[in-house]
Amino acid sequence: MTLHSLGIVEAVDTLRIGRTTSESLGNDCLDRIHDLEPAVQAWAYLDEAYVVEQARLCDRVAVRDEAVNELHGIPIGIKDIVDTAGMPTEFGCGVFSGRIPAADAWLIERLKAAGAVIMGKTVTAEMATFAPGPTANPRNTAHTPGGSSSGSAAAVAALMVPGAVGSQTNGSMIRPASFCGVYGFKPTYGLIPRHGVLKQSPFLDQMGVFARSLPDVALLAETLIGSHPDDPVAGILKTRPPLRRVCNEESLPRITFGFARTAAWEQVEYDTRHGLESLVDALGEQAFDVVLPDMFDNVWYWHKLINEADIAAHYGPYFINDMTCISESLRGQIERGREVRAADYIHAMAKREALNSHLDRIFEKCDALITPAAAGEAPEGLEATGSPAFCTTWTLAGAPALSIPLLEGGSGLPIGVQLVGRRYDDARLLRAARWLERAVRA
């Protein structure tokens, strides 16, 4: 058995019936990292002794027949913007080299309580923005893995870990999932608390997960959904959505999809255009074209205004004495953000509810929207992470979004299909994804 190739659910089942141990699984993942890390460079920090220590503890707990939690013994990668006690968390920025938090972020506490093995910190673009780290795409190392959650997506795609945590403030989950050919899920804004995570834009920052199947995504995401008093947008839902149950349903209802091209459609490359239109054609009466209201054409302007103002407010003080230590792109964002007027900022933030009012009416007619995850295959070169334009609308709206690796480009690289759901209707989105996946395979 090749342990590192197991998905989360498969690994949980394998451990529970005693066919292997957490230590063996962890060591096999470490061996895989040894083999591929020189080319992929997905990891910002890895403590092999600590991995083995955690895994052995999991095995001792299992032997004593104590309660086994959702992710017992499962290695999980953590984007290097999530505070992890005693472990470097450096935000992909040299200014923070050697920064070691004293306390865990909420989601790290939750992962540990669920029995997960914290594998290490995965590479992020600088301050989770645009300047990429060293990570290459495991599908073709001459191409970008996307960003800013580059290391998390690449580590899952390279079979280094069965699951990983990322974040999205624009397109940092969905785009790398598409480029690397894995599942990337960004739940509704606020469902996963951000306490202890680098604060870039509180109105836009959203946590998410990477895995290699829908059931794996459901298990990892459901485990992380919760509430925290220091994150006022978290905990709106009184109960966690039944993501796992939905993904295990054998009988699924009839599903209907809306096809949303968005105003960025002119940027779509031929392979993506052809693949999506063919998919929608094959769905027949179960899909229809969605024409978004004119106000959706302005989402990129509103998103940029909010994001850059927040970057100036939250990142600017770190670099107030020396802007030469950061990338030109981050300097530009800070400088532009300092010029944003308060009235424009407030006006832009007010658009979220208006956008969702329109989307709510659309979701009365369909279960999910089909839309591009990215323009096409992962671009060649590691100097940039690709355009997030096809994620911006849904990030600003705070809607749940999922990239499924259903298409392939002319170069043989994966292309994700993005599904978008109604806010707080995350389970319905995963049900639609499950139905679509079965239909495509059939």
Question: pLDDT at residue 95 above 70?
Answer: yes
Pairing type for strands 401-408 and 75-79 reads unpaired
What is the C-alpha separation between 241 and 218, in angstroms, rounded?
10
- The helix/strand/coil state of 82 is strand
pLDDT at 223: 96
Question: pLDDT at residue 235 above 80?
Answer: no
pLDDT digits (tens, 9 = 90+) for 376-418: 999 999 999 999 999 999 999 999 999 999 999 999 999 999 9
Find the mean pLDDT for residues 89-105: 97
- Which tokens go with 48? 């092999």
What is the C-alpha separation between 18 and 358, in angstroms, rounded?
51
Question: pLDDT at residue 8 above 80?
Answer: yes
Report the alpha-carbon angle 417-422-428, nearest 5. 75
Q: Which helix (H) or strand (E) holds 59?
A: helix 48-63
pLDDT at 192: 96
All CATH 3.90.1300.10 domain ranges of the chain, comma separated, are 1-295+350-442
Q: How far is CA 317 from CA 179, 197, 229, 320, 402, in A?
A: 34, 17, 25, 5, 34
Report the alpha-carbon angle 71-74-79, nearest 5. 95
pLDDT at 299: 98
What is the C-alpha separation between 116 and 120, in angstroms, rounded?
12
pLDDT at 35: 98
Find the mean pLDDT for residues 81-108: 98
User: Looking at the domain that runs over 1-295+350-442, which CATH code has it been given?
Assistant: 3.90.1300.10
pLDDT at 214: 97
What is the C-alpha separation between 16 and 89, in angstroms, rounded?
32
pLDDT at 104: 98
pLDDT digits (tens, 9 = 90+) for 155-185: 999 999 999 999 999 999 999 999 999 999 9
Per-residue pLDDT band for 231 (boundaries 50, 70, 90) equals confident
pLDDT at 403: 98
pLDDT at 67: 54
DSSP class of 143: B
Among the ranges given (16-30, 107-121, 242-256), the one the predictor scored with the smallest mean pLDDT? 242-256
Among the ranges given (317-321, 346-350, 432-436), the one the predictor scored with the smallest mean pLDDT? 317-321
pLDDT at 42: 99
Question: pLDDT at residue 310 above 80?
Answer: yes
What's the full length of the chain, in residues? 442
Transcribe 152-217 into DSSP letters: HHHHHHTTS-SEEEEEESSSTTHHHHHHHTSEEEE-STTSS--TTB--S-TTT-EEEEEESSHHHH
414 neighbors 235 (Cβ within 8 angstroms): no
Report the alpha-carbon angle 146-118-223, nearest 5. 80
- The helix/strand/coil state of 97 is coil
The pTM for the full model equals 0.97
Work out the end-to-end distance of the chain between its first and last CA atoms, rounded to an integer number of angstroms: 28
Q: What is the mean pLDDT of the chain?
A: 96
185 closest CA partner among 8, 440, 14: 8
Residues in contact with 2: Cβ distance below 8 Å, sequence separation at least 6, in sequence order: 28
Question: pLDDT at residue 76 above 70?
Answer: yes
What is the C-alpha separation between 381 and 360, in angstroms, rounded?
39
pLDDT digits (tens, 9 = 90+) for 282-295: 999 999 999 999 99
pLDDT at 252: 83
What is the C-alpha separation between 293 and 300, in angstroms, rounded?
14
260, burial (CB in 10 Å: exposed 0-12, middle 13-18, buried 19+): buried
Residue type at 336 in one-letter notation: R
Longest dimension (CA), the chain: 61
Per-residue pLDDT band for 238 (boundaries 50, 70, 90) equals low
pLDDT digits (tens, 9 = 90+) for 22-70: 999 999 999 999 999 999 999 999 999 999 999 999 999 876 655 567 9
Per-residue pLDDT band for 247 (boundaries 50, 70, 90) equals confident
Find the mean pLDDT for residues 140-146: 98
pLDDT at 291: 95
pLDDT at 68: 61
Question: pLDDT at residue 1 above 80?
Answer: no
pLDDT digits (tens, 9 = 90+) for 256-265: 999 999 999 9
Q: How much of the chain exceeds pLDDT 90, in percent?
A: 91
Question: pLDDT at residue 329 above 80?
Answer: yes
Q: Angle between the 351-363 and 299-315 helix axes, to the nearest 10 degrees?
A: 130
Question: pLDDT at residue 152 above 90?
Answer: yes
